[in-house]
Chains A and B, each alone.
Chain A
Amino acid sequence: MQQIIYFFQKFKYFLFYLLLAFIAIALTLNNLNFHKSKYVNSANSITGGLYSKSSNISEYFSLKSENELLSIENTKLRNQLQKYKSINDSVIEKVIIDSSNFQQKYSFINAKIIKNDFTNPFNFITINRGKNNGVKHEMAVINSKGIIGITDNSKNKYARVQSILNKNSKINARLKNSFYFGTLTWDGKDYKIVQLLDIPRQAPIKVGDTIETGGKSTIFPEGIPIGTITKINIGNTADNKIDIKLFNDMSNLGYVYVIKSLDKIEIKSLENLVDE
């Protein structure tokens, strides 16, 4: 007994250090796990509140470019709308809209990025929408130029997004012209370049082709732009790696949309059926 007390007396600082280090390492490991990152993150009300105050000030400096983006997006949407209007117009007598066949699959929530990282291998973004606004775990985040990430944790007013610039993120993506699909990952080096893996060898790819989301996951709708191919793997490695330059400048992001998939529960329950 004497020996134990003496031991604690002698090494009390080191033991305290070990205790704190153990807590810190446990938090670090938790943070890297997509389904467990609950405790230390910037989505809680104090850090989120401070970040939203600071972004309220700094957003004035990017007002001009934000306005430009918004006007470009409005033009695009108006053009699309006109297309549908003309289609509708030409066949107006034959079409009977059946509401049960005309199902909405996705709904959009607008949000603002209040904190953005792009320099680490594991990057996270914080947005100013949370549970109160209907943002939940595992929802897609995009803007008018392309994809940004997936929400991984939501508190009452703020949510944290796992950016596509995170070594853990895996997103289903395909070629725009041929529908061969692969997995989009990031190697942690350059924030403008991401990697597309496991595209079949017979797929006709060349530099400059556009990549978009594949719609094989329940999170992203299909056809959201990602980027263009810049480098094709010429050697015969197993993963057939392709470098892709993102349309989005991940270092300069403002307003985004969070996509809520309305059919997610149904699709998941189908996929999880046990084989009989």
Chain B
Amino acid sequence: MNKTVYLILLFVFLLFLQIFVLNNINFLGYINPFLYIAFVFYFPLKENKFPILFFSFLLGLIIDFFSDSGGIHALSIITIAYLRLFFVRVFFKKLPSDYSFFNLQTEAFGKVFNYIVTLTIIHHFILFAFINFSFQNFTSVLTNTLFSSVFTLVLFFLANYIFTKEQ
């Protein structure tokens, strides 16, 4: 499939999935997964960071519009979009010349796991710290981060496994 069409479909799919399904799960009363960050994981690696920063900002902002959260989702998703290349270098030891051949499915599972977990926890921590917006209840920020991260990661790896098995 064409790369651009694939990305547009991914953008729209993750957006609607997040707004109409995942934001209403409220597992045990308050735990929601934030699977839309998969956009950052699937966005093709490039030296040029402008496109990913711009599109992830757009995705975060639209989700903010729907969930009345100001600019919190936008802030947390552009942070991991910005830090992505750094962690690719740390975990996969890739050079800029390898970026165009990079594919999450062909890498070793351990490395992929570390990479996804790190970015997810960073994203969720910033998200819940800003949602809480005070230094009180800091334990609730940490517990929310932990539970939501686990939920998101389980969903992400399940979906990743299901949708790539046929290939």
Contact = CB atoms under 8 A, between A and B. Distances in A.
Nearest to B77: A24
Contacts of A16: 49-50, 53
A42 B140 contact: no
Contact of B70 (A21, A30, A189): A30
Given A119-B26, A121-B133, A124-B68, A17 B75 contact: no
Contacts of A189: 137, 140
Contacts of B29: 119, 191
A20 B140 contact: no
A31 B69 contact: yes
B65 A44 contact: yes
B131 A122 contact: yes
Contacts of B20: 54
B44 interface: no
A47 B65 contact: yes
B130 interface: yes
A32 B137 contact: no
A42 B65 contact: yes
Contacts, number: 100
A261 interface: no
Interface residues of A, number: 38
Interface stretch (B35-43, B56-64, B107-115): B56-64
Interface string A1-40: 0000000000001101100110111111111100000001
Interface of B is mostly: helix
Interface string B110-150: 00000000000000000000111110010010000000000
A215 interface: no
Interface in B7-34: 19-20, 26, 29-30, 32
A47 B66 contact: yes
Nearest to A27: B71
B51 to A, nearest CB: 11
B67 interface: yes
Interface of B: 19-20, 26, 29-30, 32, 49-50, 53-54, 57, 60-61, 64-72, 74-75, 78-79, 82, 130-134, 137, 140
